[in-house]
Amino acid sequence: MHLVHLHSCFQQGNGTLKDKANQRFEIPVNENIYGGMTKDELSEAQEKELHLAQHDKAVEQAKDQKNALESYVYEMRNKVQPQLDDFVSL
């Protein structure tokens, strides 16, 4: 049970506010969340999230490595191309 304190005011005819009353009520609160996840489901979802995050990291690293390789290939092509122009005909 949780104790809730309510304080209310009402407006008088002349526009001023006047305290009406202070009341305390005990309101039962149920901590069950409908539609929520059980502890096992939450644990499983957290494990899946970790796995997906690791997969995302691996994909990002692979993409970075491919970009680095592509940059290297173009850099080497640009270095070698002037030396080999005499041997290449288009």
Tell me, what amino acid is at 51? H
Residue 75: domain span:
2-30+37-82
Q: What is the pLDDT of residue 58?
A: 97
Q: Is the pTM of this model over 0.75?
A: no
Q: What is the pLDDT of residue 40?
A: 92
**What is the count of structural domains for the chain?**
1
Helix (H, G, I), strand (E, B) or coil at 90: coil
Q: Which residues of the chain have pLDDT under 50?
A: none
Q: What is the pLDDT of residue 54?
A: 97
Q: Answer yes or no: is 87 within a domain.
A: no
Q: Answer yes or no: is 23 within a domain.
A: yes
Q: Answer yes or no: is 89 within a domain.
A: no
CA torsion angle 34 35 39 42 (round to 10): -150
